[in-house]
Amino acid sequence: SVFLCRVGAGRRPPAPRARTARRRGGMWAAAPLLLLLLPLLLLGRRWRREAAALEPAGRAVLITGCDSGFGHLLALRLHRLGFTVFAGCLCPGGEGARRLQREAAADAGRMRVLRLDVTRGRDVLAAKELVLSHLPERGFWGLVNNAGISTFGETGWLPMEKYEKFADVNLLGSIRTTLAFLPLLRKYKGRIVFMSSIIAYFTLGNGIYSMTKAAIEKFCDALRLEMKKFGVQVSDPGNYARSTKIQPPVSAEEIWNELSEEEKAVYNKEYIQERADFFNNILSKGSTNGNEVVDAMVDALVSPAPKARYMVAKLKEKALVMNRKTLVTYIYDST
């Protein structure tokens, strides 16, 4: 009824085709203006990125999933840059945590290793209390939601319990830590970095992982718009499985043994072996240089003009993402 009042008394609202034509006309009319503004926007962004980088000293960053992989490398890098680092580890007695503690011993006070299971609310609250009690002079600057898990298997091969676990770690875990630390990030106008993946755009036999990464992308989109002043960032790594421990090679025998009898009646061992070989081949081609991703994460934290998304991937992987974004679904599915 509000829309009809705005149209005006005695006039019928335009037909759907007329409205569509008007919208298209407005879009085309604005196109020249957008083309004129684009170079100015790009130039402004370049000037901002060439400005002085952030001074790390006296700023705190919390990172989840520091036992190994990107989180471990990032904790070491940020500590050496001068940040105060709170490194969350699932196993604080493990080798990765011990290495971080040895690093901390060289400069007592700027590296703190803590137990942090992102699926446990009390762990997250304990982490917040620890950060609050040891904040450096410039406060809390960054939250890096890095913790994640991966697996392989077609939809029917995985039990509901595994879906719940993956959602709890990869999606709800990041949301849980974000909600806990938002007040601090607002206060100090800090930044949040999320770890997504190109697998958010297409699947390669690990739909359960793809599902959680697609969901975290949408969560980030909403949060970024709502918290622009905090510079919320999303990092998109490519195939870096060989540089982390998130996805070890899969065993066809183990997959077969875990299938239900109903699934075994549908699939045979030869098919399972074929799919496992396919997935392991993809893993074997992944980059071993995890520092490429860490470089992007550091830039998201220290750059005067950080990007909203960092697509750290090979050209082939970037092309796959672009195809997925532009091709009609039925065409993409047939390729």
Q: Write out pLDDT tens, residues 83-92.
A: 999 999 999 9
Minimum mean pLDDT among 13-22, 67-76, 136-145, 259-268: which range? 13-22
pLDDT at position 12: 43
Q: pLDDT band at residue 10, thresholds of 50, 70 and 90?
A: very low
pLDDT at position 221: 84
DSSP secondary structure, 153-204, as one string? --GGGS-HHHHHHHIIIIIIHHHHHHHHHHHHHHHHT-EEEEE--GGGT--S
Q: pLDDT band at residue 36, thresholds of 50, 70 and 90?
A: low
Mean pLDDT score, 274-284: 71
pLDDT at position 182: 92
Given a contact cutoff of 8 angstroms between Cβ atoms, the answer to whether 35 and 63 are in contact is no
Is residue 73 over pLDDT 80?
yes
Q: pLDDT band at residue 246, thresholds of 50, 70 and 90?
A: low
If you ran DSSP here, which 8-state letter would residue 302 be given?
H
pLDDT at position 121: 97
Burial of 11 (0-12, 13-18, 19+ CB in 10 A): exposed
Is residue 328 over pLDDT 70?
no
Looking at mean pLDDT, say which of 40-44, 169-173, 317-321 comes out highest.
169-173
Is residue 145 over pLDDT 80?
yes
b/e burial code for range 125-134 (CB count within 10 A of at least 16 → b)? eebbebbeee
Mean pLDDT score, 310-320: 68
Catalytic pick among 209, 240, 267, 330? 209
Tokens of 243: 């540089």
Burial of 139 (0-12, 13-18, 19+ CB in 10 A): middle
The span from the CA of 87 to the CA of 66, in Å, is 6
209 is catalytic: yes
Helix (H, G, I), strand (E, B) or coil at 288: coil
Minimum mean pLDDT among 34-43, 97-106, 116-125, 160-169: which range? 34-43
Is residue 33 over pLDDT 90?
no
- % of the chain beyond a pLDDT of 90: 35
Q: Which residue has the higher pLDDT, 331 or 308?
A: 308
- % of the chain beyond a pLDDT of 70: 67
Mean pLDDT score, 47-72: 83
Tokens of 290: 């995890």
Is residue 114 over pLDDT 90?
yes
If you ran DSSP here, which 8-state letter would residue 16 be given?
H
Give 73's contacts (C-beta < 8 A, 6+ positions apart). 290, 291, 294
